[in-house]
């Protein structure tokens, strides 16, 4: 097991890695749960008098979302209701000057770590530790805290390099995410375990299904992946139509695996019995899957499916959610996603809701986060946790 903030020495200067990687719309960074969660870790540390240098990334080189962290500092400041300083430099002279000017309880956000080449270099943790980036910053701080669970699957310098040369601790977000997301692999559940799978990325979800064979009793399918399974079951859905390109390519790659899973899991896989689409009047309309016509673009599971899935959830001891069952951003097509979440909220089952997008529906539709055991802020790391694959950040902290 790793050390946590409870094991920190009483005072000192801490280098804290967080993950506030966010959607960016028209150049504007969008506030989201990652900010509020990490703000709590920073608040705890600053209130305890530690001096904090903070590392984070945004986007990937070459993408529109690859921007500086100036706006992130403002958003974090608004959550913390205190100033988070920002310097447009990661470990050069300006960064070092700003770090050395800091005193107890002050917080400085350094520039996007992915703007330096060493962060993304394909190296071992030991080689990352030898980089000028890690050598320079580790000399300025007494200990390293990794709170960036959602980047825990990336073997980058700021994740695996510092723990090689500094005392390393897991932050509160890291600790909570690790515990809840690993529950599917670590805990024994006496009762029925269900998993709702939706969203667009079939390969991730199929991989999860293969890895939780021993734990999950029922899979509730929706979204694009649900349609691909319906296609394998012989229905006329899961094909690309005029305005979609989600289906045929994924079908070509996954057809065999989907057929094998349908075969071996049998009725443990529950498929939609009806689907919703937008009719000519712009209204939500529904059709039974038996009667669907090839060429319709479906945007949600239908109400009969929602009812069936709700009944499964009501009888479950644990429910894991990965991905949305429909296009919930549009109120007309939110019934599947919201129906499952509300059904979970009505029970006292152990529940983990994952995937940045799915968890956003909790806010949009005014549900109470407290009704779920855990709402994850991770994407790829959540998928890995569900499959039981190890996370390099956790390995580094444990070492």
Sites of contact with ligand 3PG (CB under 6 A)? 19, 21, 60, 150-151, 154, 379-380
CB of 37 to ligand 3PG, least distance (A): 13
The residue whose Cβ lies closest to ligand 3PG is 21
Report the C-alpha gap between 227 and 204 in whole angstroms: 15
The residue among 155 and 326 lying less far from ligand 3PG, judged by its C-beta, is: 155
Q: How far is the CB of 69 from ligand 3PG (least distance, A)?
A: 13
CA angle 85, 87, 89 (to 5 degrees): 155
Tell how strand 274-278 and strand 298-301 pair up: antiparallel
Closest among 336, 293, 283 to 313, alpha carbons compared? 336
Give min distance, CB of 164 to ligand 3PG, in A. Answer: 20
Closest distance of CB 315 from ligand 3PG, Å: 33
CB of residue 66 to ligand 3PG, shortest distance in Å: 10
By CB atoms closer than 10 A (0-12, 13-18, 19+), residue 189 is: middle
Q: Tell me whether residue 105 or residue 380 sits nearer to ligand 3PG (CB atom).
A: 380
**Bridge partners for 29 per DSSP:** 24
Q: How far apart are CA 218 and CA 391, in angstroms?
A: 26
Beta bridge partners of 169: 145
* C-alpha to C-alpha distance for 165 and 399, rounded to whole angstroms: 11
291 alpha-carbon distance from chain centroid: 36
Q: Decide if 137 contacts 369 (C-beta within 8 A).
A: no
Euclidean distance between the first and the last CA atom of the chain, given in angstroms as a whole number: 9
Which CB sits closer to ligand 3PG, 60 or 294? 60
Neighbour order of strands in the sheet with 298-301? 284-288, 274-278, 298-301
Specify the long-range contacts of residues 22-25, CB closer than 8 Å, at least 24 apart: 22/58, 22/65, 22/72, 23/65, 24/58, 24/59, 24/64, 24/65, 24/67
* Least distance from ligand 3PG to the Cβ atom of residue 133, Å: 17
Least Å distance, CB 60 to ligand 3PG, is: 5
Which positions ≥6 away from 267 have C-beta within 8 Å? none
Least separation in angstroms between CB 335 and ligand 3PG:
27
Secondary structure element (H or E) that encloses residue 253, with its range: helix 248-265
Nearer to ligand 3PG, 220 or 383 (CB): 383
Nearest approach, Cβ of 79 to ligand 3PG (angstroms)?
Answer: 18
- SS3 category, 160: helix
Rank residues 20 and 195 by Cβ distance to ligand 3PG and give the closer one. 20
Shortest distance, position 163 Cβ to ligand 3PG, whole Å: 18
Report which DSSP code applies to 99.
H
Rounded distance between C-alpha atoms, residue 399 and residue 397, angstroms: 5
């Amino acid at each position: 097991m790793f050390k946590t903030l409870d094991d920190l020495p009483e005072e000192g200067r801490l280098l804290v890695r967080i993950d506030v990687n966010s959607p960016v719309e028209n150049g504007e960074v969008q506030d989201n749960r990652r900010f509020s969660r990490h703000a709590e870790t920073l608040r705890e540390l600053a209130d305890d008098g530690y001096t904090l240098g903070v590392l984070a990334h945004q986007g990937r080189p070459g993408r529109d979302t690859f921007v500086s962290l100036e706006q992130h500092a403002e958003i974090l400041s608004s959550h913390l209701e205190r100033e988070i300083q920002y310097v447009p430099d990661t470990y050069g002279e300006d960064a070092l000057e700003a770090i050395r000017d800091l005193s107890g309880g002050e917080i400085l956000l350094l520039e996007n770590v992915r703007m330096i080449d060493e962060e993304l270099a394909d190296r071992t943790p030991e080689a990352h530790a030898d980089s000028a980036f890690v050598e320079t910053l580790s000399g300025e701080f007494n200990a390293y805290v990794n709170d960036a669970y959602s980047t825990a699957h990336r073997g980058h310098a700021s994740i695996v390099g510092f723990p090689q040369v500094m005392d390393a601790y897991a932050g509160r977000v890291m600790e909570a995410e690790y515990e809840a997301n690993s529950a599917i692999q670590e805990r024994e559940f006496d009762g029925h375990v269900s998993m709702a799978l939706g969203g667009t990325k079939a390969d991730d979800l199929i991989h999860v299904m293969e890895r939780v064979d021993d734990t999950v009793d029922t899979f509730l399918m929706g979204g694009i992946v649900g349609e691909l399974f319906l296609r394998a079951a012989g229905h006329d859905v899961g094909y690309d139509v005029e305005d979609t390109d989600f289906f045929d390519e994924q079908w070509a790659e996954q057809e065999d695996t989907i057929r094998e899973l349908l075969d071996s899991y049998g009725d443990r896989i529950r498929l939609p019995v009806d689907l919703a689409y937008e009719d000519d009047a712009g209204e939500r309309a529904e059709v039974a899957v038996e009667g669907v016509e090839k060429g319709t673009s479906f945007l949600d599971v239908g109400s009969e499916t929602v009812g069936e899935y709700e009944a499964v959830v009501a009888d479950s001891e644990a429910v894991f959610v990965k991905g949305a069952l429909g296009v919930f951003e549009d109120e007309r097509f939110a019934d599947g996603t919201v129906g499952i979440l509300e059904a979970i909220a009505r029970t006292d089952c152990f529940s983990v809701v994952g995937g940045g997008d799915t968890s956003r529906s909790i806010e949009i539709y005014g549900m109470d986060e407290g009704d779920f055991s855990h709402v994850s802020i991770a994407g790829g790391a959540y998928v890995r946790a569900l499959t039981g694959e190890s996370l390099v950040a956790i390995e580094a902290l444990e070492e």
